């Protein structure tokens, strides 16, 4: 009973001391900031998953069957040969049947295909070929080294059926090699003519060099 009383006395005194304590003092300065904690290490990254393999490519299907060929069209008719009417003689030797002098010779060549109609707008070409194969369109003249005329060769259209071929020499007489077709087994001089009607290849003919025998032969398909 006494012990309980003493405890009661002590409790009352404690409460009184608290109630009668002096005023609270000023708040002291804040203490120093504590050290920052160490950041934990990042855990290892997980491995990336592997990419799946590509599946095999499908096989190419078989090629389709070829279509049926169409029927061939009918061949067109061949056009007319634009050079079909061109005429020409064989090569022939001179034959001085009208005049056979030492400085003047003339021959007449007859052909029913020489016509006034064809000569008007057409052409009759006379070529002279020497022993070395050189071929010249008449008229054709020869000169000496001084530039003087030595031999003159010409052609005259006499009628619708004949032409005259003439050769003249100045200053001296002819040699056989200058006027004859063959001397000592060697061919020296030959002549041929080509008749081109006015209705044959007129546009091309205007641009064709008649003095170029090889060009004329090729253009009109003339055999040599």
CA atoms of 36 and 42, how far apart (whole Å): 18
Q: Which one-letter DSSP state was computed for residue 86?
A: -
CA atoms of 103 and 168, how far apart (whole Å): 6
What average pLDDT does range 6-25 have in this prediction?
A: 43
Span 67-78, pLDDT tens digits: 666 576 565 454
Tell me what pLDDT residue 108 has: 98
In a domain, residue 209? The reply is: yes
Q: Which structural domain, as residue segments, surrounds residue 176?
A: 92-219
Q: Which one-letter DSSP state was computed for residue 20?
A: T
Q: pTM, whole model, 2 decimals? A: 0.62
In a domain, residue 140? The reply is: yes
In a domain, residue 211? The reply is: yes
In a domain, residue 180? The reply is: yes
User: Cβ-count burial of 118 within 10 angstroms (0-12 exposed, 13-18 middle, 19+ buried)?
Assistant: buried
- Domains contained in the chain, number: 1
In a domain, residue 162? The reply is: yes
Q: Alpha carbon 160 to chain centroid distance?
A: 48
Q: Pick from 26-40, 58-72, 93-107 the range whose average pLDDT is largest.
A: 93-107
Tell me what pLDDT residue 163 has: 96
Span 120-179, pLDDT tens digits: 678 899 999 999 999 999 999 999 999 999 999 999 998 889 999 999 999 999 999 999
Tell me what pLDDT residue 94 has: 98
In a domain, residue 113? The reply is: yes
In a domain, residue 224? The reply is: no
């Amino acid at each position: 009973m006494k012990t309980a009383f003493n405890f009661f006395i002590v409790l009352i005194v404690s409460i009184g001391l608290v109630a009668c304590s002096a005023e609270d003092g000023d708040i002291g300065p804040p203490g120093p900031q504590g050290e920052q904690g160490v950041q934990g290490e990042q855990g290892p990254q997980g491995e990336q998953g592997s990419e799946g393999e590509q599946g095999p490519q499908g096989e190419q299907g078989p090629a389709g069957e070829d279509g049926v060929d169409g029927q061939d069209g009918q061949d067109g008719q061949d056009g007319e040969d634009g050079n079909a009417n061109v005429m020409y003689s064989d090569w022939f030797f001179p034959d001085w049947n009208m005049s056979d002098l030492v400085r003047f010779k003339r021959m007449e060549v007859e052909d029913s295909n020489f016509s006034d109609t064809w000569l008007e707008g057409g052409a009759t070409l006379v070529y002279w070929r020497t022993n070395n194969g050189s071929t010249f369109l008449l008229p054709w003249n020869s000169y000496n080294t001084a530039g003087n005329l030595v031999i003159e060769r010409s052609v005259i259209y006499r009628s619708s059926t004949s032409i005259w071929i003439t050769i003249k020499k100045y200053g001296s007489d002819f040699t056989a090699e200058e006027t004859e077709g063959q001397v000592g087994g060697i061919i020296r001089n030959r002549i041929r003519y080509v008749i081109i009607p006015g209705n044959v290849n007129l546009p091309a003919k205007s641009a064709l060099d008649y003095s170029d025998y090889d060009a004329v032969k090729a253009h009109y398909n003339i055999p040599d």
